[in-house]
Structure 1
Amino acid sequence: MNLKNWIHLFWTTLVVGAAGSLIAGLLLQWTDTIDFNGTADVFVNVGILLGVGIMVSVYSQMGFFAYLMVNYMGTGVFSRRTWQYVQLVLTALSLLELMFFRIFVDGEKRGVSDIILGLVIFIIACATAYLKAKLTNVSALIPTLFFMIAVTIVETIGVLSIGVDQATVWITAPLIACNAYQILILHRVVKSSATSAASVSQ
């Protein structure tokens, strides 16, 4: 991945995060009673929503590049098939930890919310993995599931500790959107970089 393509990925992910936060924030506020004291309050509110989305997108990109490094090391240490099994096990454990383990081990009282969040992440991850496999090949199915489930859950640990459902939705919505966008666009970015490198070498 060259600098030009990375900058493109960076800025487009910022836009995805900002849009996701704005949409999620406005939907949450629409369900509550919020009084604005003028046009300035409306613009400040929109600015806060966009700003949070941008920060979440940067956080998502950090997790994405961390995943790329882990995936690179995993393929170097394990065989291809073994690494797939490892990813499946880690994916299942992370999903179980979110939906069930925290209730029984840590005494969390948000069982229903965690189960719903886990189901939402699982459904979106399956849809993203299916689309990724259609865009590339079937070998991308397990890595995409691993990233969209395991990595996303790890990234949401901070907001889950707050224990407020609205905050969880507000942060996880743009986070999932950014993660899905990055994993779906990755092959295009890599292909574009390879094409540019080939044209330069000719």
Structure 2
Amino acid sequence: MNSRKVVYLFISTMLIGSTSGALIGLILDWNAYMEDLFSGEFFGFILLVIWLFGIGALWTAISQMGFFAYLTLNRLCLGMFKSHKLWNRVQVVIILFVLFDLMYFRHMAFAEEGESLLAYSIMPLFLLVYGLVVAYLKSKDTHMGAFIPALFFMVVITTIEWIPALRENDPTFLWSALVPLLIANTWQLLILHRLQEQ
């Protein structure tokens, strides 16, 4: 890839991720923002949208760092394990480990007495299903060997990028962080091979 394609990847990812962050921020607290807008606080509403866009840009920047870190890690591990099959098996084990930890440790940290572990399985299951869909699309566009690495990236790397938000138990904060991360990660993953083919 030449520098022009790298710049395109960076700018397009930033715009898509930031916009999705602003939209999910508005959707999650729609009633409060609409009250401000209809009560004549138009300038305040515009400032709020800019603020939400900036928060989305922050999560998108984290996503971009994670993406390039994973590309480096993947190349390093392929050289270290000397086999795609072995590295894929290791990635599957890490995916399962991360999904379990995402459920179990959040339950340990935030569950009230008598609260079921099942309630904390919703986000890991959502992340897994979303990751499977994106991995399928990636492997369909390229080859079946891309399925496990794509799933690993969408589940494990997204979870690592999401850690600052996971320290809180505020659903609004969790979703306002997760959506731009997922959108930016999906875009980067699905556009990369197209840029390389051009």
TM-score (norm 2): 0.90
Among residues 132, 142, 154, which one is paired with 1:136 in the alignment? 142
1:132 CA displacement: 0.6
CA distance in structure 1 between the aligned counterparts of 2:171 and 2:24, rounded to whole angstroms? 12
Among residues 119, 122, 130, which one is paired with 2:128 in the alignment? 122
Shift of the 146–165 alpha-carbon distance from structure 1 to 2, 3 Å rule, reads same
Structure 1 residues 27-176: aligned runs within 5 Å: 27-30=27-30, 32-34=31-33, 35-36=35-36, 38-78=41-81, 79-103=83-107, 106-109=108-111, 111=117, 114-176=120-182
CA distance in structure 1 between the aligned counterparts of 2:23 and 2:164, rounded to whole angstroms? 21
Paired residues, what number? Answer: 189
Partner of 1:197: none
Structure 1 residues 177-188: aligned runs within 5 Å: 177-188=183-194
**Long gaps (5+) in structure 2:** none
* Percent identity over paired residues: 34
Partner of 2:13: 13
1:100 CA displacement: 2.2
**SS in structure 1 opposite 2:110?**
coil
CA distance in structure 1 between the aligned counterparts of 2:119 and 2:12, rounded to whole angstroms? 31
1:101 CA displacement: 4.0
CA distance in structure 2 between the aligned counterparts of 1:142 and 1:124, rounded to whole angstroms? 14
1:154 CA displacement: 1.0
Shift of the 112–170 alpha-carbon distance from structure 1 to 2, 3 Å rule, reads farther
CA distance in structure 2 between the aligned counterparts of 1:87 and 1:163, rounded to whole angstroms? 28
1:189 CA displacement: 1.8
TM-score (norm 1): 0.88
User: Following TM superposition, where does structure 1 have runs of at least 4 consecutive aligned residues deviating by more than 3 angstroms?
Assistant: 32-35, 110-114
**Preserved contact between residue 110 and residue 169 of structure 2 (Cα < 8 Å):** no
The one-letter amino acid of 2:50's match is G
Q: What's the C-alpha RMSD, in Å, of the aligned pairs?
A: 1.6
CA distance in structure 2 between the aligned counterparts of 1:190 and 1:108, rounded to whole angstroms? 44
CA distance in structure 2 between the aligned counterparts of 1:113 and 1:22, rounded to whole angstroms? 27
CA distance in structure 1 between the aligned counterparts of 2:118 and 2:20, rounded to whole angstroms? 24
Shift of the 113–179 alpha-carbon distance from structure 1 to 2, 3 Å rule, reads farther
**Long gaps (5+) in structure 1:** 193-202
1:108 CA displacement: 3.1
1:191 CA displacement: 2.0
